[in-house]
Amino acid sequence: MQSTFDERNWLVWLVRVRIFILTLLLAIELAIAQFSPTPLPMRLFLSTMVFWYTLSLFYVLLLSLWQEHRLQASLQVLTDLILVSLVVHETGGWDSSLNFLYPLVIIVASVLLPRVWAQLVAALAFILYGTVLELNYYAVVPSYSSTHPALKALQAIIFVNLFGFLAVAYLAGLLTAKLRQVGVQLKDTSGALESLQALHENIIHSISSGLITTGLDGRITLVNAAAQRLLERSPAGLLGAPVHHLFLDPLPTVESPQGHGEVRFEPPTKFRKTVRVRVASLTVPERGELGFVYVLDDLTEIRRLEREVRMQDKLAAVGRLAAAIAHEIRNPLTSIAGSVSMLSGVPEMNEDHRRLLDIVTRESQRLNSIITDFLAYSRTKQYHFDRVDLVQSVEDTLTLMDHRMTAEKTGITIERRFSVRQAWAIADGDKLKQVFWNLCENAVRAMKDGGTLTAAVESLGDDWQVSFRDTGTGMTPQQIEKIFEPFQSNFEGGTGLGLAIVYQIVQAHDGKVWARSKPGQGTTLVLRLRRLDAERPASTGEGVPEKAQGKAQVVVAARPVAAAAGGGLRG
C-alpha cells in the first residue's frame, strides 16, 4: 500500500499530467475546428475545458489544506470520469476520438487506489460511456455526431469498450501491484544497505588506530575519527588533500620491504609527533586496485619514554661517577690550592711566576666549583614539601632577576603573564626557586644582545604550567634532545649541570619539564606541577610528595638513578 507521502506525490503528478493533456487536447480540437468543418459546440467545449483547468488548480490548493489524500484521489478520479464523459459527448459521442481518456483515468485509479477500486472505476467508466451513447442515440440530449449507427453497431461499440476498460483495469492493477512490490523491496534493500553502510562507518570510526584511505593519485578520500584526533585536523581540511603533504618525512610505500615506517608530523598547535604508518593497497576483486589504506599509530609517548629511559641511564651513570671520584679529586685539589697559596708568598717569585700561579689558583677554583656542582647533583637531597604559591615563587625569582638585569645593563626586559592570581601546589619552595632561577639564568644567557624574558603561569587541567620564554638564538632538535643531560652546556664557561639538577628536582616533585625551540626563534622552557586540589594517583616511588594535610612534610629524595617516576622530558 502506498504511503501518505507517495500518494501526495502521485496526486501532484496527476495534476501536472492532467493540465498537460488538457492543453494538448484543446490545441488539437481548436486546430481541427479551424481547418475542417465540424459540429463541435465550441463555446460549450471551451467552457468545459476552462472548468476542468479551474478544478485542477483547486486540487493543487487542496493538497496543502487537506491531508486525506486517499479521499482526494477518489474525488479526482470521479470528477475526471464525469468530465471525460462530457467531453466525449461534446466531441461527437460514438464518433469522438477522445474515448481513450477513459483508459487513462482507469490507469490512474489503479495507481492511486486499491485494486478493487480500479475495477469499480472501470465499471463506472463503462456505465458513463454507455449512458452518453444511449442518450445521444435516442436523442435524449443533443447529439454532435456526424453519423448515426445502427442499434447493433452501437451495442457492439459499447461492449467492445466494456471489454477494453476491464482489460485495462486488470492489466494496470497487475502492473501497479508489481511496481509497488518492487518499490517495497527496493526500499527494504536500500534500508539494509544504509544499515550496513552505517555499521561499516561505525566500525571504521571506532577503530583506535588512525585510518586514511586515498585514491591512486594520493588524495584523501576517507578519514576516521582517530586519524582526525591524531592529525588535529577537521574532515574538511583533510578530504581531497594529498596525504604526503601532511607529514615531514616520506611515507612508506606498498613496495617497501616491511610495508610500514615511522614519520614525523607537526600539528598546528602542539609538539611534533612521531607516527608509525602501515600502508596496503585498497583492492576490489572485480575492479582491481582503487587506492591505498594508511593505518596510523601515535608513537610520540613511547618515543618520549624511551628517551626518558636513556636519560635515566645516563643520569645513573653520572651519579655513580660523581659519587666515586668527587671526594678523590677534591682532597688533592685542596692540597694543590694550599701549596700554590704558600708559593705565591715567596719573595723571589717574579711576575711571570706569579701570573702562572694565578692561573693555577683560578683553574683550581673552577675545578672546585665543578666538583661542588657534582656533589650537589649526586648527594642525597632533603625536600621539605608544603603548600607553595607558584605565582609568588616565580614573582620573587623575577624580582631578583629584574634587579640584576638593571644593575648589569643587559638590555633584557621581563614580562609577566599570570592568568591566575594564586597557584597552590605541594612542593619544596626553596628547591622550586632554585629551579626557576636556573631556568631564568639559561634564558638570560641565550640573549647576549638583549631581548625579552616572558614568564607565564597558567592552569591546564589538573596541572599548573610555568614557562619561561626568551628571544634568543634558539636550539636545534639535537640540542633539545640533550638539554637536561649533564655536561651538555651550550654556553661558554658552563658546567652543564644546572638543567640536570633542575630535571632532578622536578622529578622529585612528580612533575615534568621540557624545552620547545627552533633555531632563530627563541626557546621556551616549560614546567608542569600537579595542582593542590587535583586528584593524585597512588605512587610507590620514593620522592613523590603526598597530599599535605595542613603542615609541612619532609621527604628524602633519592639520587638521580632512583628519582621519582613520572617526570618527563619532551622536545
For domain 207-298, say whether CATH 3.20.20.20 is its number.
Answer: no
Lookup result for grid cell 723571589: 348
Q: Is the pLDDT of residue 563 over 50?
A: no
Higher pLDDT, 187 or 550: 187
Q: Is the pLDDT of residue 255 over 90?
A: no
Task: Check residue 550 and give its pLDDT.
Answer: 41
Q: Is the pLDDT of residue 274 over 70?
A: yes
Higher pLDDT, 374 or 289: 289
Q: How far apart are CA 391 and CA 384, in angstroms?
A: 19
Backbone phi and psi for residue 47, each to the nearest 5 degrees, phi listed first: -65, -40
pLDDT per position as a tens digit, 156-168: 888 888 888 888 8
Closest CA to 485 of 307, 324, 311: 311
Question: pLDDT band for position 188 (50/70/90)?
Answer: confident
8 Å CB contact between 525 and 513: yes
Q: How far apart are CA 364 and CA 323, in angstroms?
A: 20
Instruction: Give residue limits of the domains in the chain.
Output: 4-188, 207-298, 303-376, 381-562
Q: How far apart are CA 453 and CA 450, in angstroms?
A: 9
Question: What is the percent of the chain with per-residue pLDDT over 90, rounded to a whole number?
Answer: 9
Q: How far apart are CA 397 and CA 390, in angstroms?
A: 11
Higher pLDDT, 1 or 467: 467
Average pLDDT over residues 203-229: 86
Q: How far apart are CA 34 and CA 20, in angstroms?
A: 21
Single-letter residue type at 491: F
pLDDT per position as a tens digit, 113-131: 777 888 888 888 888 888 8
Task: Check residue 492 and give its pLDDT.
Answer: 56
**Fold adopted by 303-376:** Helix Hairpins (1.10.287)
Task: Check residue 306 and give its pLDDT.
Answer: 83
For domain 381-562, say whether CATH 3.30.565.10 is its number.
Answer: yes
8 Å CB contact between 389 and 457: no
Q: Is the pLDDT of residue 532 over 60?
A: yes
Q: Is 189 exposed, middle or buried (0-12, 13-18, 19+ CB in 10 A)?
A: exposed
Task: Check residue 183 and give its pLDDT.
Answer: 72
Of 71-80, 378-387, 399-408, 521-530, the one with minimum mean pLDDT is 378-387
Of 152-156, 350-354, 373-377, 468-472, the one with minimum mean pLDDT is 373-377
Of 104-118, 155-169, 314-328, 523-537, the one with minimum mean pLDDT is 314-328
Task: Check residue 465 and give its pLDDT.
Answer: 93
Q: How far apart are CA 140 and CA 555, in angstroms?
A: 121
Task: Check residue 378 and give its pLDDT.
Answer: 60
Question: What is the percent of the chain with per-residue pLDDT over 70, rounded to a whole number?
Answer: 84
Question: pLDDT band for position 466 (50/70/90)?
Answer: very high
Q: How far apart are CA 373 and CA 404, in angstroms?
A: 23
Lookup result for grid cell 577537521: 234
Average pLDDT, the chain: 78
pLDDT per position as a tens digit, 38-65: 777 888 888 888 888 888 888 778 777 7
* Alpha carbon separation from 302 to 275, 306, 463, 526, 535 (Å, rounded): 10, 6, 22, 20, 25
